[in-house]
Amino acid sequence: MYTERRPGAHSATRPTASGAVPRYDEQVSESRGERKERTRRAILDAALALCEDSSLVAVSLRQVAKEVGIVPTAFYRHFDSLEDLGLELVDESFVSLRMMLRDVRRNDPAFADIVDRSVDTLVSHVHQRRAHFAFIARERSAGPVVVRERIRDEIELCERELAVDLARLTGPAPWSEHDLQVLANLMVTAMVATAEAVLLSAGRPDMEKYVTERARTQLRMALIGALQWRSRP
């Protein structure tokens, strides 16, 4: 027996790590598919929670299973391996972030505001998906190889999208495409570092305020510097 549970409850009716469990054990009589999806969700959340400190490479399949409240072998009904699960988490983390950032830039052609809006979006996103961001920050350089590669690709995608939007916002070409890439890379790098810093300032609002203000300044510095850069090469 892996966790105590009420007698007769055969399967994972109450996954330990899932926040989205129906209250008071109401017998909603889920379909098989719903049930499976719920367990899957619970596994993802459990893994996310377990690598909050350390890293996915230091998390074991058995730990995850215990956290969820299922038997170790049941894990394989949902994922081939922990790496597989890691890739899933990467996708989850980036999809919504990229969507939001793109929205910011599409709905707001005002060049001056782009910095403030982007930083705000990033910070609020870090807040509402702490665990996901912490995951990315960790696995980016320490995760399983395939996970690292996927994360790198995703960040590169962010860079390219930013470059495109910058090009559109600045109108016809004060910068070469190359300079644009370089600038976008610097800005994304600063953003990533900011996200990490926000994570570190958990529970210290003054520190977070400093960090976000710093990010704004840095992005503006980069933009202004890049403008001056090209107007006298």
The tokens for 212 are 């976000």
Nearest Cα neighbor of 75 from 96, 94, 47, 54 is: 47
Decide which of DNA, its own copies, none touches 70; Cβ closer than 5 to 8 Å per partner kind: DNA
**Contact status: 140 vs its own copies (CB under 8 A):** yes
Least Å from the CB of residue 79 to DNA: 10
Among 123, 189, 201, 207, binds its own copies (CB under 8 A): 189
As a whole number of angstroms, the distance between CA 183 and CA 115 comes to 13
Is 201 a binding residue for its own copies by CB under 8 A? The answer is no
The answer to whether 162 touches 184, Cβ cutoff 8 Å, is: yes
Contact flag: residue 25 with DNA (CB under 7 A): no
Sole binder of DNA in the list 23, 32, 178, 232 (CB under 7 A): 32
Residue 20 touches which of DNA, its own copies, none (Cβ within 5-8 Å per kind):
none
Instruction: Give me 21's structure tokens.
Output: 């469990």
Measure CA 190 to chain center. Answer: 16
CA pair distance 28, 173, nearest whole angstrom: 59
Tell me how far apart the alpha carbons of residues 1 and 149 are, in angstroms, rounded to a whole number. Answer: 38
**Binding span for DNA by CB under 7 A among 4-12, 18-26, 84-92, 221-229:** 4-12
- The nearest distance, CB 227 to DNA, in angstroms, is 51
Please tell me the count of residues contacting DNA according to CB under 7 A: 28
Q: Is 54 in the site for DNA (CB under 7 A)?
A: no
Q: How many CB atoms are located within 10 Å of the residue 119 CB?
A: 23
212 binds its own copies (CB under 8 A): no
The item of DNA, its own copies, none sharing an interface with residue 73, based on CB under 5 to 8 Å by kind, is DNA
The number of helix segments (H) and strand segments (E) in the chain equals 8, 0
115 binds DNA (CB under 7 A): no
Alpha-carbon distance 126 to 146, whole Å? 24
* Residues binding DNA (CB under 7 A): 1-2, 10-12, 29, 31-33, 35-36, 39, 60-63, 66, 69-74, 76-78, 81-82
